[in-house]
C-alpha cells in the first residue's frame, strides 16, 4: 500500500509518500521563508496563496522522488488540523480534487499525531506506551501516548509555545524570522550563565508551562541594555535564553516520566531539532534511567512524510477515518 501525504498547516508546502510500513519513499517541501520574512512572521493569507501556487509542483517532485505516478497511490491523506484556516483549506481542497480526479480514498489526519509518529518512523522499535513532549511554534504539550492512537493530556503551555518563545525572543534581539534555529546556532558558542532569564513553574509539581514571562523579560532586558550591547553579546544572550527555555522543558519531562512511571520519552515538533534540548535530555536520561527518542532531523519540522506516516500506521490498525473530512484549526490529540 502506498500513502500520499499533503501538509499545508502553516508555512511549509509539503508532499510525502510512505509505504504500509511507514518507510519514506519521498519527502519534499517548499519552505515559505522568503514570502514571510519581510513581515517578521507568518502572514496567513500569503501562506494560503503560496501553498496554492507551490503544491502542484511539490506533488510532481515527490512522485518523481518516489519513482511513482498518481495511479500507484492507494490513499491520499491531508492535514485537517491544527493550523491556519486558509492554508488548511488549500491542502484539503487540493487533496479532494486529486481524490476525485484519480478516484482514490481520502482521509484527514491530525498534524500533532504526525509529529509524534515521526519519532516512531525514525526508530522502528519504538512503540507506545511512552510520554511525548510536542514542542513547536504553536504547541508545548506533554501527553501520555497509548497504543491505538490514544492520548491523555498531562500538561501544556498556559500562554506561548516553546517555539514561539524562541521566535519572539529572537525577534526582540534583532534576529530575522524564523529566529529559533538561528538562536540555537548562535547559542552554541555562548555563555549559558551570562544572564539568568526566568523559568516559570520550575518548583511546581505539575506538567504546565508558561513562556510569556520570559518573552517580557527578554524585552525589558533588550530595552535596558540597548542595541549595541545586545549585538556585541548576542551569542551569550541567545545561550541564556535557550537555557531558560530548555530547562523548563527538561524539568517537566522528568516530572511526567516519574508521575506515569515510564522510562521512554519522545520529543516531537520543530523544537525537537534543537541540539541543546537533545543534549540535555540525553544527559538526564543517563542520570535518571530513561531513554529519549527524537525524530530524524528531516522529520522534526513540518513535513508531509509524517502525515502519510499517520495514514499508513492508522490504516494498518483499521483506525484511519475516511469519513470526517472537515478541517479544524484547533484540532487536538484528545478529540
Which member of 35, 120, 160, 167 binds ligand KG4 (CB under 6 A)?
167
Cα–Cα dist 125/300, whole Å: 18
* Continuous segment of H or E residues that includes residue 194: none
Helix/strand/coil (H/E/C) assignment for every residue in 238-251: HHHHHHHHHHHHHH
Give the interface segment with ligand KG4, choosing from 59-67, 85-93, 191-199, 270-278 (CB under 6 A).
Answer: 270-278
Cα–Cα dist 166/301, whole Å: 14
Rounded (10°) angle between helices 179-187 and 234-260: 100
Residues in touch with Zn ion (CB under 5 A):
136, 302
Give the interface segment with ligand KG4, choosing from 40-48, 119-127, 195-203, 271-279 (CB under 6 A).
Answer: 271-279
Give the interface segment with ligand KG4, choosing from 35-43, 87-95, 145-153, 267-275 (CB under 6 A).
Answer: 267-275
Mind giving me the DSSP string for 42-87?
Answer: --HHHHHHHHHHHHHHHHHHHHHHHT--GGG--EEEEEEESS-HHH
Which member of 270, 285, 295, 309 binds ligand KG4 (CB under 6 A)?
270
**What's the Cα-to-Cα distance from 319 to each of 72, 104, 122, 200, rounded to whole Å?**
22, 18, 21, 38
Place of cell 506533488: 59
Quick check: 301 binds ligand KG4 (CB under 6 A)? yes
Between 209 and 290, whose beta carbon lies closer to Zn ion? Answer: 209
Give the interface segment with ligand KG4, choosing from 13-21, 175-183, 205-213, 258-266 (CB under 6 A).
Answer: 175-183
Quick check: 309 binds ligand KG4 (CB under 6 A)? no
Place of cell 532531523: 297
**Phi and psi at residue 270, in whole multiples of 5°?**
-50, -40
Q: Considering only residues 192 through 221, tell me which ones interact with ligand KG4, judged by CB under 6 A.
A: none
Quick check: 166 binds ligand KG4 (CB under 6 A)? yes
Which member of 81, 91, 114, 180 binds ligand KG4 (CB under 6 A)?
180
Q: Considering only residues 79 through 138, tell me which ones interact with ligand KG4, judged by CB under 6 A.
A: 136-138
E-assigned strands of 52-105? 75-81
Residues contacting ligand KG4: total by CB under 6 A:
18
In the complex, which residues of this chain contact ligand KG4 (CB under 6 A)? 10, 136-138, 163, 166-167, 178, 180-181, 184, 269-271, 273-274, 301-302
Amino acid at each position: 500500500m502506498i500513502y500520499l501525504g499533503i501538509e499545508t498547516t502553516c508555512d511549509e508546502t509539503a508532499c510525502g509518500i510512505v509505504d504500509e510500513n511507514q518507510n519514506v519513499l519521498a519527502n519534499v517541501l517548499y519552505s515559505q521563508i522568503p514570502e514571510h520574512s519581510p513581515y517578521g512572521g507568518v502572514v496567513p493569507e500569503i501562506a494560503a496563496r503560496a501553498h496554492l501556487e507551490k503544491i502542484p509542483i511539490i506533488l510532481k517532485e515527490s512522485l518523481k522522488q518516489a519513482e511513482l505516478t498518481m495511479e500507484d497511490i492507494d490513499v491520499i491523506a491531508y492535514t485537517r488540523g491544527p493550523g491556519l484556516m486558509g492554508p488548511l483549506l488549500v491542502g484539503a481542497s487540493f487533496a479532494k480534487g486529486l481524490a476525485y480526479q484519480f478516484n482514490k480514498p481520502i482521509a484527514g489526519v491530525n498534524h500533532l499525531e504526525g509529529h509524534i509518529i515521526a519519532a516512531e518512523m525514525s526508530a522502528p522499535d519504538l512503540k507506545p506506551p511512552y510520554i511525548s513532549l510536542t514542542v513547536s511554534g504553536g504547541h508545548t504539550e506533554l501527553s501520555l501516548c497509548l497504543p491505538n492512537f490514544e492520548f491523555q493530556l498531562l500538561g501544556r503551555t498556559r500562554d506561548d509555545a516553546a517555539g514561539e518563545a524562541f521566535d519572539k525572543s529572537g525577534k526582540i534581539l534583532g534576529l530575522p524570522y524564523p529566529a529559533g534555529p538561528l538562536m540555537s546556532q548562535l547559542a552554541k558558542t555562548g555563555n549559558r550563565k551570562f544572564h539568568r532569564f526566568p523559568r516559570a513553574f520550575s518548583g511546581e509539581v505539575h506538567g504546565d508551562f508558561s513562556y510569556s514571562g520570559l518573552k517580557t523579560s527578554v524585552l525589558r532586558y533588550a530595552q535596558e541594555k540597548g542595541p549595541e550591547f545586545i549585538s556585541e553579546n548576542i551569542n551569550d544572550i541567545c545561550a541564556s535564553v535557550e537555557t531558560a527555555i530548555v530547562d523548563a522543558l527538561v524539568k517537566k519531562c522528568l516530572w511526567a516520566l516519574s508521575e506515569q512511571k515510564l522510562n521512554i520519552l519522545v520529543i516531537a515538533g520543530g523544537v525537537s531539532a534543537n541540539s541543546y534540548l537533545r543534549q540535555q535530555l540525553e544527559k538526564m536520561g543517563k542520570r535518571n534511567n530513561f531513554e529519549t527518542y527524537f525524530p530524524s532531523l528531516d522529520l522534526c519540522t513540518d513535513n508531509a512524510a509524517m502525515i502519510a506516516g499517520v495514514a499508513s500506521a492508522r490504516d494498518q490498525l483499521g483506525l484511519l477515518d475516511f469519513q470526517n473530512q472537515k478541517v479544524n484549526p484547533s484540532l487536538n490529540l484528545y478529540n
